[in-house]
Homo-oligomer: A and B are copies of this chain.
Amino acid sequence: MTDTIEPTTAADGRPYHHGDLRHALIQAARAIIIRDGAQALSLRGVAREAGVSPAAPYHHFKDKQELVLAVGQLGFEELGIVMEQELAKCSDDPQERLTVIGVSYVLFARDNPALYRLMYDCARNMEALPPDVHEKDHSAYAIVRSAMIAAGLADPDDPVAIELATTAGWCAAHGVAEMGGFAQFDPLKTAVGGELNFYRELLKRTGAFSAR
């Protein structure tokens, strides 16, 4: 009567081995961070949400920090995907494409503030830039860089200038992304005709995203 169809079930119906616990833990952690903030994240809570004992995660991550790092890396991949999606819907005008990138970046941070904050914490002190500067060509960083070149903001033959322009743009977007969400700016947002206008205006003035 109480039999279940699952493979090699225990008394309570759950198999002894989870199957893909590593992935489940990352997803659970991501959900908790987005729902309750990074400060509310506990390894035990993640294990609980995944229906597993408190010590189980240690077979997949050596640390709480290592789990957090995995969530952060996932976030950067998501960011890259979102950017590419928005670029696909966009015209071919290089300047407009740059703007779309900046706005996508800022909106991603606005929609997932805790996750974005955590992503930044992961990026800090990593060997490679988020996710990594030199290898993946569809990484968020690579997207920004090629858009910079396309818009004529950096000489394609000057590697240093390219990196500098890309970094400047990224820094500007980061600043707007993190601070733009502050409640203190609410009056200013309405004064300039809405949140989106506010972000566009900041990105424009923060000139790293437009030709001089």
Contacts and interface: CB of A to CB of B under 8 A. Distances in A.
Interface of A: 120, 123-129, 133, 160, 163-165, 167-168, 170-176, 178-185, 188, 191-192, 201-202, 205-208, 212
Contacts of A180: 171
A168 B129 contact: no
A202 B164 contact: yes
A185 B205 contact: no
Q: What DSSP secondary structure best describes chain A's contact surface?
A: helix
Contact of A120 (B129, B133, B178, B212): B178
A188 B162 CA distance: 11
Contact of A174 (B126, B129, B178): B178
Contacts of A170: 175, 179
A205 B168 contact: yes
Given A201-B164, A205-B208, A212-B212, A179 B184 contact: no
A168 B206 contact: yes
Given A120-B178, A171-B175, A175-B173, A164 B205 contact: yes
In the complex, which of the residues A127, A171, A174, A180 has the most CB atoms of chain B within 10 Å of its own CB atom?
A171
B133 A184 contact: yes
